[in-house]
Structure 1
Amino acid sequence: MIPRYTLPAMGALFTDEARYALWAEVEVLASQAQARIGAVPQSAVDAMLQAPVPTRARVAEHEEVRDHEVLSFLAAYCEHIPEEAARWVHHGMTSYDLVDTAQGATLARATDLVLDAAAGLRRVLVERALEHWDTVMIGRTHGVHAEPTTFGHKLAVFAFAVDRSITRLTAAREAIAVGTISGAVGTYSLIDPRVEQDVLGALGLTPEPVPSQVVARDRHAQLLQALALLGACVEHLALELRLLQRTEVREVEEPRTGAYQGSSAMPHKRNPTTSERLAGLARLLRGYADTAMENVALWHERDLAHQCVERVVLPDAFCVAHFQSVKAAELVAGLTVRTDAMAAHIDQTDGLVHSSAVLADLLDEGVEREHAYRTVQAAATDTATTGEPFASSLARHGITPRAPLTPDRFLVHHDVLRRRLEELRERTGS
């Protein structure tokens, strides 16, 4: 988790200070629940409520002689609790009752931030797609001119991709918003299940149905896969915008500040650096998702192999995914769309993009398919070779288009797609 790709709201969730504050909250909630059923004296709870959250530095000092973070946290926490009350802290619990329950709450809150950012990206994609629904441009397959489409259509593809990512991430949030306070091997041997119910209810979590000592790690794998898929959707968008910003194309340009400098050597450069950054970060998310899969299989009721991994991949994955979605929304919102370049590129190949319409007309007229295809292809080859207008090449091959060779021919059913986009806007409030 580095500051360059960490926005403040997300970064704040994953600090040691935030973690220790949540651990203290879980300990208090557990003791309050135990007091309600008579397992812990209320006076101990009252003393805990007066204790400050241990500082990172103090926990670290204790860890030098304990080599165990949770025990070090508890030692630092209990320094400010009278001995008679302190002995009731963590009563009947094991370390991961504390760690996994607190982590479930953190991950649920972090997922909410990513969901909000993704919804913002979906909203701006829908807005700009409708803005440019009739902005005609060339469609490309294999990087080669295909048939006309519109820039709005292109952005709508990404709006629906982000919407699907939000659906997946919502399901993953439900899967991860769990905790467990069930003891050393998950049998509630020294703690009443009602304590778990009260603590998790206060934190907005549900219980792991049958815990071992820990929350099942397939939940975390599902979550990071959902983040990786969202990242892949952002990458796809960023890649498209990178391609459209090439000097030979220049159909769009990403927003830049007045301080922008694109190259240390070439002052003229206007590089697609934001798009490139967003695309590169997606690679990290895929790596984190793979790593989370490796954490699913633990020895028996629990081992420690997953813990060191999660300390890295969980904060990093959330910071990256959040940064990606927020910055992608800013990119799309500030994107300059060069409609003149889009219009010019449609005519760049002297009318060849209309070949499919000409072929369809011949087939409608009853011409045998192979003959029709080969004839249109021969005319297209002449145009590609000589630069002769496609209409002239067609005429020399005995073909007269029955309709003008204009982009409108390809967009007669475009309103069907627009209605689907408008339905998405209505459904999501985008």
Structure 2
Amino acid sequence: MAKHQFEAYGFQPFINKGIEELGFYEPTEIQKRMIPLILKGESAIGQSQTGTGKTHSYILPILERINPERKEVQAVITAPTRELANQIYHEILKITRLSDEEITARCYVGGTDKQRDIEKLRNQPHLVVGTPGRINDLIKEQALFVHKAEILVIDEADLMLDMGFIVDVDQVASRMPEELDIFVFSATIPEKLKPFLKKYMENPEFIHVQPKHISAENIEHVLIPRKSREKIDLLAEMLQAYNPYLAVVFANTKQKADEVADALIEKGLKVGRIHGDLSPRDRKKMMKQIRDLEFQFIVATDLAARGIDIEGISHVINYELPRDLDFYIHRAGRTARAGYSGVCATIYTPSDEDALIRLEKRGIQFRHMDLRRQEWVDLDDRNQRRKREKSQDDIDIRAKSAVRKPKKVKPGYKKKMQEEIKSFKRRERRLTSKRNNKGK
């Protein structure tokens, strides 16, 4: 009997052992569709949301294709953030350490000692992971040689584009062989990314894994009205009432993240922060402190939603709704991982109504709640008023349709029509009220 369903791919024993140690049994949808293509060397674009297992959909087949006897770079994996690059690198090490033959992987990211990277490149690794800027720098310094590498992975390509790194990726790709297998992974495929894809990929396979649910089923989406309260006071009360294992509070800008973190610290909470203005050393230190559970609360920008995988997040709090609603899904996806449940709570004001309606149309079901004396209470459906207004609009339309202008008009016909319309509306409202009462 097979220990796991990945054995059907014919991976080498050390890879199968790694899969077993990782606790994987059945491939996810993106893995089922991407692994065979990468094993065959067919360039492909994989579109799937966060938390679908895409990292191992390329790590596993790439490791299968590495030839340890060739002492040269055979695959390059690019990621938009240092944290994501390090994360991918450590997932690779979990498997390569089980190989009888040495497979070398190296991680190169900005903010580290470039000269030290250059010195260590006297021996070229089999596999390179890193941020595009640092990889490109090492190639320009003629320290890293990628001219024989057959595989290029571009992870989180849409974020790569947003952060302005696609130029570096382009320069890295231009130094690689013409016959290059390129694998692009992205939550979305923006129009501005298409010229790059067209330049390097000829008729690639396009794999779009539609999520069965727009967000994990075991996430509870909660809306909390701000009302007339100070927002930071409400946030502090929420964090204390939830008493989470680990909560991430999202803000839209680095300035706002700092403002929120500082205010929470003033209230006596021990808070970590993750955003782009932290120095490489501070970011590394912060990630270690978070993994060592020194903080119960983290304030972050959306960089963390796409670039970092922190274990054990029980609660996500949207201090502000993201401007790009796709990021709501990415934020929510930080919790309820590996089968656990989670909460994604949003503080909202009437100005957020349009965004909330659009999220509901995407399939997000919100629970409307409030915090009163440190106790969570359910509120009425916030859409009730809108539903009543829509119902009234429907009655108005039906009334105008039912009461028509007579073919032959007599003096006073307008007044008579108005009376008939009022009478029709009264009957309809009574019927609607009876139906609603029966449904209760």
What TM-score range do you get, normalising by the shorter chain? under 0.3
Higher fraction of helix? 1
Higher CA-based Rg: 1
Higher fraction of strand? 2
TM-score (norm 2): 0.26
1 or 2 for the larger relative contact order (CA 8 Å, sep ≥6)? 1
